[in-house]
Amino acid sequence: MARLIRTEKEVEGHYTEQWIVVDEDALDQWPAGPLQTVGKPAPRVDGRERARGEATYTADIQLPGMLHAAVLRSPHARARVRSLSLSSVLAAPGVRAVLEPGDSHVLTDEPGYHGAAVAAVAADTFAQARAALAQAAVEWEVLEPLLDPDQAVEKGSLVSEPNVSERGATERGVSEAEAVVEAEYRTQTVLHNSLETHQAVCVWESGRLDVYISTQFLWGVRATVAEQLELPPDKVRVVCNFMGGGFGSKNGPGEYTFIAAELARRTGRPVRCALTRREENLATGNRNSTIQRLTAGARSDGTLTVLKGDYVNSVGFEGWSPSTGGPMELLYACENVRVAEHGAKLNTPPNAAFRAPGFVEGTFGLECLMDELAARLDLDPLELRMRNYADSDLVDGRPFSSKNLLECYRRAQPHWARREEVRARSQGPWKHGMGLASQVWYGGGGPPSYAWVRVGSDGRVQVVTAMQDIGTGSRTAMAQIAAEELGLSLDRIEVSLGDTSRGPFASISAGSSTIPSMGPAVRSAAADAARQIVEIAAQRYHLEERVLSLRNGHIVSADGGSWPIEEITELLGEGQILGKGARGPNPTGMRTLTFGVQLAEVAVDIETGEVLVDRIVAIHDVGRVINPLGASSQVEGGIIQGIGHTLSEDRLLDPGTGTVLTQTLDAYKLPTIADVPEIVAEFVDRPDEHLTNLGSKGLGEPPIIPTSAAIANAIRDATGANVRSLPITREEMLRALRAAREREGLERTAETVGEVRSA
Amino acid sequence: MKFVRPESPEAAASSLGNGSVALAGGTDLVPMLRDGLVQADELVFLRDVVPRGVQSGRIGAGTTLAELEVDPELPQALREACAASASPQLRSMGTIGGNLLQATRCWYWRLRFPCYLHGGDRCHARQGTHREHAIFGNDRCASAHPSDPAAALLALGARLQTTRRELPVADLYRLPTEENRNLTALERDELILELDVPTPDASVYLKAMDRRAWSFALVGVAAARFGAETRLALAGVAPVPWLLENPSALEQSTPLPGTAYKVEIARALVRRALASLPTT
Amino acid sequence: MRIELDVNGEQLEADVWAGESLLYVLRERLGLPGSKNACEQGECGSCSVLLDGELVCACLVLAAQAEGHEVVTVEGLAGAEGLHPVQAAFARAGAVQCGFCTPGLVVTTAHLLERNPDPSEDEIREALSGNLCRCTGYAKIFDAVKLAAGT
């Protein structure tokens, strides 16, 4: 039965309260551990198409008569367009239409960041469009940009009210502490750099708009485009069959979709608006940089008495202030916690969600701080974390729907025991060490989400839902879930997704929510279909439904009878069995989170500042694992992004003009295969008994969260240097080493003075 | 734009200039054409006219980096510099002649800031963001020369044969002056044809990068020993490949606030390079 | 200008503009979208193809340069159906996530194994370092290369 409830919905750590209609979820969870298909490694059901180069991405869509758009972007971080003439652009070869500020809400004549869209053109080829743009006559009034985040906070230039939350009494916490550590941490701006750039192809036909787009949320694009263009949502069709990466930056339609739609409307032709790599690194979002001024206090036994965090998020010209203080609030059983987050509005490109926005940055600060505290207290870092283990959510006292972080710590111990052995590898300038960091994040998903399951007379099954597979392997996981419920082998399941006109509403693929939101809906639809097969079989074989079940492609009865499933489906002829499923509600009054711990082994060349990551062990608790092969691949992918974030990636600006300097992939340094360490991925793999019919949480984001702190802590272990700023480039490493030497020198001098005095 | 396959190196050379641009491997030129850093009406394709291959120490300028890095006859420093210079794809496309003439990676220059090198009156990197920039010869332009093989060839004392003359590789490069902002001494219609590389007793190339592979040098150090004399040259530290008279010359460097770390790296790599050369 | 080239064993002709890249001609004029355009600068390897057996970035080769030469793209590795052993290994080992970099990696791996059927870990790292992947973390790509080398 459909039920109307008022509930909290969480996406990327944002909670909103809303009315929601949910369907009951009456299915019992499957037993824990690997089943017939679920819980066993499954190669991609679409691996073949992708490996053959046949998968059709948005970038590969070719439509008859399609035009290509190019976008004129502001070369200035803050400016006004004094005058703009596009007449020569319009006269250039191949040009069919131009747009200027006023023609679309995504174009502006007062750009607030380098790369803001100002005008656009559609031409027969992209080269023509680009060449035509060079003819634009723009007179700029260049204004002084605001680039310093601390200055922005001081002046009150914020994207939203500061987010301050406090529990307990932090002043008391400080006074009760026997050791207090204060430190300032900084993280840099990181660019998503999905390999497929942001792009859309738009086509109008009889008042209906088709949008082919590289996106993480078909229905979000549909809703936003419909609202903006004042169309009934059913007049907008959104298609994305294969998608070349997003990492949070492709949750909405972006300016390019509206540019393509308007140009397509004006020309009556399909229009592609595809960003170049340079544009990608200007105007599609970023993980914003942060400044984190943190305090931790503890008793000598390690019991935390206080945690304080003052965070400045350099959000950019628009965007939202991510929850950088979230890990500090959620990770430890500390009674006195205060976090204050400021979202600085600057003349820099707007941020966008990037794989655990806020928590990646905040975990770097918090987990480095914990290690600095452990050093101060002369405590083992793992011991310190276990001593402050949180059994319930201290933010509002809710129990966790499940939490197995202690089990993660337990499994970490044999790896952590290698520490002495790792340190002993140090030789000459190369110092080895080991560090760890914990992870907390959301990832419970939620309703609404729907799926249909269609069984044909040949006994083959089609899962139909208008979700998207952003590359994470959703197609495969959904096929596994349907196969498990129907007792069929994976090769008999087809998953049809990627088109809002061909399936029911499905959730966003962001916030680690795809599996926990969509998986239960698919299982519920498969169960509905299975129930109907059993009903028909019961009539056909004159048995009671309750003695029949589906297993290994057969209908089996409790007394040992077994019939191939086709015996029943054949009876359908042209008919089909249609199963319908929906995502049930989240457990009420509970907090659903994901947890984990990562351990890093590093080597540091103290003469050249080179840091090599040798090994990372990742142990995560995300409930039931559907596909261990896909899951370990997610972990490895998160870790290598984390390594890039830690060591080499940095979007650099010119400090005077706010120009983005690192637009290409030689300047913005993504890790290559040569940077990959040995990675060990483990999962606790215990279903969350309170969460849906699957007990699965999401895994997209957790693995990137603790990586940078684990590496920084390993560096501290290896060298004694406190690295507090990302990325840990050679200059940062050498700076931290120099500071450590100076500190040690001072301590030695102090010791010598002490010795002299005592003598 | 026209695509031209010339008949001879001389014909190729004489057609250059006035919108005619030489195209060899294309790894640097093609992106610059796309970004509007180079304008061309005509591309003169050198592949069929510039010598390619190695014969008794003489290297055709059209030889690819990938071909050089595996040639056992060549000095180790050159092979290592070629191997470390770029990705496998770029090394199998890029020629040694083109590599020597590649443009700086300075982001200000690449983004067409009206900088000193582009004929303007100041270097934007000096006051700006410059962690990848120079520690030597940087008073007017602080860009860093990106070529690893150039440093190796400089340490090795290689000589170049062009369509007009023979010259030491050191003379190929010049620092920009008020009158002339070019970083090479090559004439507009001059092509490098061959390189003559002396055989040292021992040589080595070491490179510090931001990631383990496929990145331009923060600091590259080439060392080559000929008898009692050892020559050192650096990549990534000056607008041109930089000959280091001796290790202590590093103390005369003029780093910017953001490039001081390069001196520290260079000291370590120079020491290691020298230590790695076997003595007879 | 009109050029002729041998693509995946077939003689093809195309009308091109001299400044146009081989990648553009393959994708937009010859109906071979397998090679991907991701950076346009030769920095990501997504457009890797074989030009006379050499591994190149098709975005940096001008179409006119390829005139009269042999090009092999991801579409030409296996027949009209079926999988090249490298493609099969990528699919089986789970070396594919979003898959946008996969065609380039498959071509690069095929080229590596052609020259070096049993590459060491370091040789794999070096040979594949010009192909950026943002999703997989590369670990399963190692597995795939080793799997393909063993077949």
Inter-chain CB pairs, A–C, below 8 Å: 176
Q: Which residues of A touch C21 (CB under 8 A)?
A: none
Nearest CA in chain B to C44: B87
SS3 (DSSP) at A606: coil
Mutate which of C40, C129, C131, C145 to test chain B, going by most B C-beta atoms within 10 A? Answer: C129
Chain C interface residues (partner B, CB cutoff 8 A): 1, 17-19, 21, 40-43, 45, 48, 54-57, 59-62, 64-65, 108, 125-127, 129-131
Q: Can you tell me the distance from the alpha carbon of A30 to that of A8, in angstroms, rounded to the nearest whole number?
A: 27
Asked if A593 and A703 sit in the same domain, the reply is yes
Q: Out of B129, B211, B258, whose CB is closest to A661?
A: B129
The CA distance from A519 to A341, in Å, is 34
Q: What is the pTM of this model?
A: 0.97
Interface contact B211-A654, CB threshold 8 A? no
Q: Which chains touch C (3 or more CB pairs under 8 A)?
A: A, B
**Is B218's Cβ below 8 Å from some Cβ in A?**
yes
The answer, for B231 touching chain A at a CB cutoff of 8 Å, is: no
Instruction: Look at residues A7, A14, A12, A15 and name the one whose alpha carbon lies nearest to residue A509.
Output: A12
pLDDT for position C19: 86
Sort out which chain C residues have CB atoms less than 8 A from B43's CB and list them.
18-19, 62, 64
Burial code (b: 16+ CB inside 10 Å, e: under 16) for A446-466 equals bbbbbbbbbbebebebbbbbb
Is A758 inside a domain boundary?
no
What's the pLDDT tens digit per position in A299-339? Answer: 999 999 999 999 999 999 999 999 999 999 999 999 999 99
More confident residue, A725 or A25: A725
Q: Which pLDDT score, from 0 to 100, does residue A13 have?
A: 65
In-domain check, residue A157: no
Q: What is the model's pLDDT at position B56?
A: 86
Instruction: Specify if A750 maps to a domain.
Output: no
Q: Which of A534, A561, A582 is the last residue of a domain?
A: A582
Percent of chain C with pLDDT over 90: 93
d(CA A386, CA A683): 19
pLDDT in tens, B117-153: 999 999 999 999 999 999 999 999 999 999 999 999 9
Choose the closest CB to C54 out of B31, B33, B92.
B92
Residue to substitute from C44, C84, C100, interface A, most A β-carbons within 10 A: C100
Domain limits, chain B: 51-276
Q: How far apart are CA A685 and CA A32, in angstroms?
A: 8
- B47 has a chain C CB within 8 A of its CB: yes
Instruction: Beginning with the edge strand found earlier in the chain, give each strand of the sheet holding A163-167 in spatial order.
Output: A163-167, A337-345, A304-316, A290-298, A179-187
User: What mean pLDDT comes out for the span B208-224?
Assistant: 97
- Residue A686 confidence (pLDDT) above 60: yes
Say if residue A6's pLDDT is above 90. Answer: no
**Residues B168, B185: contact at Cβ < 8 Å?**
no
Cβ within 8 Å of C, A 244-283: 244-245, 247, 276-277
Q: How far apart are CA A666 and CA C22, in angstroms?
A: 21
Q: Do A206 and A96 sit in the same domain of this protein? A: yes
Amino acid in the structure at residue A106:
V
| Same structural domain, A432 and A494 | no
pLDDT band at B279 (very low <50, low <70, confident <90, very high): confident
> What pLDDT, on a 0 to 100 scale, did the predictor assign at position C151?
73
Among chain C residues, CA nearest to B48: C65
Residues A668 and A718 in one domain: yes
Where does residue A368 fall: left (phi above 0), alpha (psi -120 to 50 degrees), or beta otherwise? alpha
What pLDDT score does A759 carry? 46
Among the partner residues B111, B131, B268, nearest to A607 by beta-carbon distance? B268
Could you tell me if residue A31 is inside a domain? yes
**Which CATH fold topology does C2-76 show?**
Ubiquitin-like (UB roll) (3.10.20)
The minimal CB distance from C100 to the residues A244, A633, A665 is found for: A244
In a domain, A575, yes or no: yes
Mean pLDDT value of segment A413-423 = 98
Chain A residues whose CB is inside 8 A of the B129 CB are 652-655, 661
User: b/e map of A423-442 (b: 16 or more CB within 10 Å)?
Assistant: eeebeeeebbbbbbbbbbbb
Residues of A in contact with C44 (CB under 8 A): 195, 665
Q: For residue A218, what are the contacts with CB-CB under 8 A and spacing of at least 6? A: A238, A239, A240, A466, A467, A468, A498, A499, A500, A506
A128 lies in a domain?
Answer: yes
Higher-confidence residue of A750 and A574: namely A574
What top-level class would CATH report for the domain B51-276?
alpha beta
CATH number of the domain at C85-149, out of 3.40.470.10, 2.60.120.590, 1.10.150.120, 1.10.357.10? 1.10.150.120
Residue A164 forms part of a structural domain: no
Same domain (yes/no): A617, A573: no
Q: Is the pLDDT of residue A753 over 70?
A: no
Phi, psi of B189 (to 5 degrees): -110, 40
Answer yes or no: do A407 and A468 share one domain.
no
CA–CA distance, B207 with B242 (Å, rounded to integer): 14
The 10s digit of each residue's pLDDT in A107-132 is: 999 999 999 999 999 999 999 999 99
Same domain, A68 and A106: yes
Q: Do the chains contact at C94 and A59, CB–CB below 8 Å?
A: no
Give the model's pLDDT for residue A199. Answer: 98
Clarify whether residues A409 and A493 are in a common domain: no
Q: Are residues A486 and A609 in the same domain?
A: no
The domain boundary, picked from A555, A582, A609, lies at A582
Please report the pLDDT score of residue A408 as a whole number.
Answer: 98
Cβ distance B45 to C65 less than 8 Å, yes or no, reads yes
Please tell me the number of Cα atoms within 13 Å of A401 on its side-chain side. Answer: 26
Domain region containing A224:
61-144+195-245+250-283
| pLDDT confidence of residue B167 | 98
Out of C46, C93, C130, the one facing A195 most closely (by C-beta) is C46
**In this predicted structure, what is the pLDDT of residue A726?**
98
Q: What are phi and psi of B256, to 5 degrees?
A: -85, 165
Residue B226 forms contact with A (CB below 8 Å): no
The per-residue pLDDT for A1 is 66
Nearest residue to C104 via CA among C126, C74, C80: C74
Domain ranges in chain C are 2-76, 85-149
Q: Do B258 and A731 touch (CB under 8 A)?
A: yes
Question: Which residues of A are less than 8 Å from C16 in CB distance?
Answer: none
Residue-level pLDDT at A754: 56
For helices C85-93 and C102-115, what crossing angle results, to 10°?
120
For residue A523, give the 3-state DSSP assignment: helix
Q: Are residues A483 and A353 in the same domain?
A: no
Mean pLDDT of chain A, nearest integer: 96
In A408-427, the residues whose Cβ lies within 8 Å of chain C are: none
pLDDT by residue (tens digit) across A8-23? 777 666 677 788 888 7
Q: Give the other-Cβ count within 10 Å of B184's Cβ.
A: 14
Q: Domain for residue A189, yes or no?
A: no
DSSP of A27-96, one letter per residue?
PPPPPSS--SSTTS----TTHHHHHHT---BGGG---TT-EEEEEEE-SSSSEEEEEEE-HHHHHSTTEE
Task: Give the per-residue pLDDT at A755.
Answer: 56
Residue B278 is predicted with a pLDDT of: 87
Q: Quick one: A382 and A350 in the same domain? A: yes
Closest residue in C to A280 (Cα) is C39
Within 10 A of A149 (CB to CB), how many other CB atoms are there? 24
Contact A672 B213 (CB under 8 A): yes
In 3-state terms chain C splits into helix, strand, coil percentages (rounded to 5) of 35, 15, 45
Residue A747: band (very low, low, confident or very high) from pLDDT cuts 50, 70, 90? confident
Query: In this model, does residue C99 exceed pLDDT 60?
Result: yes
Q: Which one of B211, B215, B272 makes the best mutation probe of the A interface by having the most chain A beta carbons within 10 Å?
A: B211
Inter-chain Cβ pairs, chain A and chain B, closer than 8 A: 79
Write out pLDDT tens, residues A516-560: 999 999 999 999 999 999 999 999 999 999 999 999 999 999 999
CATH of the domain at A509: 3.30.365.10
